[in-house]
Structure 1
């Protein structure tokens, strides 16, 4: 990964003006300046309530931060560290039938000493305007607090499943697969996870490119990770000896019963056989009574691999949030499952996607989108940019949002939209960022 061009995009002038009026300096942190770079990393850690990072941890985090556009908000009266942070980069995101460049937003923090001063709003709106100026059609983020980002037009678009299994009662029912499982050292594990993610991420809408620091953390190689010593790795090699799956996990003792819980940090596979082999390893692991994993697709086959499906608990929760910025470019970047001819009226308080739009999807699954002179009253369907962003990747049903009163139009038209937008495989964002 090389330093992206977006690190050269200047800060948004409107947000800069707004914050300057409050006595705050809104600027890009100079990651070539040791003090500026370290200050950003330490402020980011403080904002997420992490422990004060060691010098080694700071150096390791900077390997990732230097590849991003890091913005700090500084208050001269509050010391050298920024009182708020945000960073962003452009990454490919898989959509049905292809990819689209996405403006990924991360490290959004505001110091507890500077809340309720409009800082978060200035930063988030500034990121969206910067993305628009760079010609990026969609933005995305993962969130710590789910009630914040709707005000900026983000919709919860990529739900995931948290799975837990009682291995004492599950009973393995899956077929045995050819190939073998072997343990992996941590560096090999990190390398495998990175390779497998890149090989598989184009198979499900919502996935984005990873980065080395992500896989180092999953493999227990991150400085300051309290669980690092407990991380173990397993890899699956197919009948030809090719690595098709890898899993990072920890084992922790269940008090008083001399048994353990297996927690999967990440599970990456490129074939169904590899997934079955790794699930069999988990379900049949000696001295393990329960296992758990997060960030799995809603159609994970685990419940159909065990004899007692009640031993598997599935908790669906929000994870990936998307925000359409350039509506024609975003909608024309993906394929659709069915033809459609509809006029949408989109409400967008920030103006990016607002207006009436004629969407024509042909038999080839590609869309043609153009602005119309219509109004909300003459459109076939009315919805907000939050709802449009939610259904964009095909993981949220338009019919479900209509039932909730979030999309308005004739039932058959909304059903047609639902059929066109829905993805064949459950979309997934399998990483935090």
Structure 2
């Protein structure tokens, strides 16, 4: 664990490794638990670091503790010396010792974290939508009892926190935000070409049912015609009619010609509400990566969509306690995962199980690519069926 006085230098290491701009050590200190931070030194100089946040994240089966790994970086002159591998191994052992059986992260590069047992478990989409093409379906759910209030985001903090707290358990991958994380979400960074954050709250007489955070940018074309942009930062709602009302608000703002969103769930209600979904130009990107730190515990605490009885032979280089053969027996009520000497039905890497854990990635893709071995015909299909979820996992806040 580093000392308090060393934190600014650690922030500089991570910022340099990730090619960041000016790094605000005081701001990031509010988000960082030094007890969960690991640092490698070359003499007095930090040359590598990683941390994790203790989140309550929604997983299949319900919210529970997850280690949210963040701020991973090695000083550029000290790459290729085993620093990252040492940090990852030690961090995984510490996470296990805390009793957290799952770790999650956002990957800066797709080729790094698979080596350490993480698998791409969720996706997101960014999209651009011209407002002239943004009509919603006539049968979109609407509720005349709902109304909108527009205000500065900071003034809506308590109300939107209530909405998010209620919405997060409904989406696998979301985590409950503390005060420090709300400060980050509602921050107006200097030099942003867009406006300060605005908030529209959808509510009825019982209270708030949804909100959208967005920024605008005022521009005019060469003929003096408004060509303004609106960027949605996030939208959460606990009722379908609130989704409709909030999307209608941002898509019909006067002077706005283009609405964009850098990160939305692939199955966001908007893509079903649009009269012509093709008008939203979408680009898919990875979202959460998942690592099973304590494999039997993680599999036993998960919910399953169908009964399954399968023997897994798991390779795990960095968490050797996970390696070996495990018999997973589960139904829609409970699961059991125990060591076994039985012949395996599937041979795979722990990263494959991490990718499939949230129910958004199919093991069948790895099978088709020849990256796992199906010994018993149909075993991968049966396991994929058991891991399936009707909704797609997604995390709306990069940590």
- What's the TM-score, normalizing by structure 1? 0.84
Which residue does the alignment assign to 1:183?
150
Aligned residue in 1 for 2:339: 371
- More displaced stretch, 304-313 vs 406-415: 406-415
What aligned pairs does 1:314-333 form with structure 2 within 5 A after superposition? 314-333=282-301
Q: Quote the offset at 1:81 in angstroms.
A: 5.0
Tell me, yes or no, if structure 1 residue 388 matches structure 2 residue 361. Answer: no
Match of residue 47 from structure 1: 17
Change (3 A) 1:293 1:140: same
1:428 aligns with 2:394: yes
Return the alpha-carbon distance in structure 2 between the equivalents of residues 430 and 113 of structure 1. Answer: 34
Do 2:2 and 2:34's aligned partners in 1 also have CA atoms closer than 8 Å?
no
Give the match's secondary structure for 1:215.
helix
Contact 2:313 2:348 in 1 (8 A): yes
Say whether residues 1:89 and 2:53 are aligned partners.
yes
CA RMSD of aligned residues (A): 2.2
Does the CA contact (< 8 Å) of 1:94 and 1:100 recur in 2? yes
How many residue pairs align between the two structures? 391
- The gaps in structure 2 that reach 5 residues or longer are none
Change in CA separation of 1:249 and 1:137 when aligned onto 2, cut-off 3 Å: same
Which whole-Å CA distance do the structure 2 matches of 1:139 and 1:99 have between them? 14
Secondary structure of 2:148's partner? strand
Q: Distance in 2 between matches of 1:201 and 1:231?
A: 25
Query: Which residue number corresponds to residue 187 of structure 2?
Result: 220
SS of 1:150's partner is helix
2:304 aligned with 1:336: yes
- Asked if the contact 1:61/1:213 (under 8 Å) is kept, the reply is no
8 Å Cα contact 1:161/1:295 also seen in 2: yes
| Secondary structure of 2:392's aligned partner | coil
In 1: Cα distance, 2:157 partner to 2:11 partner: 23
In 1: Cα distance, 2:293 partner to 2:268 partner: 31
1:10-159 matches, within 5 Å, as 28-31=1-4, 35-53=5-23, 57-66=24-33, 69-76=36-43, 81-159=45-123
State whether structure 2 residue 291 is matched by structure 1 residue 310: no
- Equivalent positions of 1:277-316 (< 5 A) are 277-316=245-284
Q: Render the CA deviation track for 1:264-296: whole Å, top value 9, x for unaligned.
A: 112222222222211111222222222121332
CA distance in 2, matches of 1:67, 1:127: 13
* C-alpha contact (below 8 Å) 2:38/2:91 kept by paired residues: no
**1:314-353 per-position Cα deviation (integer Å, ceiling 9, x unaligned):** 2222110111121110011111111111111112122232
1:238 is aligned to 203
Instruction: Return the offset for 1:102.
Output: 1.6
Structure 1 stretches of at least 4 aligned residues deviating more than 4 Å after TM superposition: none
**Structure 1: gaps (5+ residues):** 1-27
- CA offsets 1:201-250 (integer angstroms, 9 cap, x no match): 111222222233332233234xx543297123223233215112222211
Q: Give, in angstroms, the shift of residue 39 of structure 1.
A: 2.7
Rate the CA distance shift 1:277–1:67 in 2: closer, same or farther, 3 A.
Answer: farther
Give the superposition deviation at 1:68. Answer: 5.5
Farther off after superposition, 131-140 or 325-334: 131-140
Deviations 1:1-56 (A, max 9, x none): xxxxxxxxxxxxxxxxxxxxxxxxxxx1123xxx3233333433333333334xxx
1:186/1:68 Cα in 2 relative to 1: closer, same or farther (>3 Å)? farther
Change (3 A) 1:255 1:383: farther
CA–CA distance in structure 1, aligned partners of residues 18 and 143 of structure 2: 42
From 376, 381, 391, the equivalent of 1:415 is 381
The CA distance in 2 between the partners of 1:194 and 1:135, in whole Å, is 28
Q: Take 1:189 and 1:49, find their aligned partners in 2: how far apart are those partners?
A: 33
Partner of 1:194: 161
Tell me the equivalent position of 1:357.
Answer: 326
Structure 1 residue 167 displacement after superposition: 1.5
Distance (Å, rounded) in 1 between the aligned partners of 2:335 and 2:269 = 32
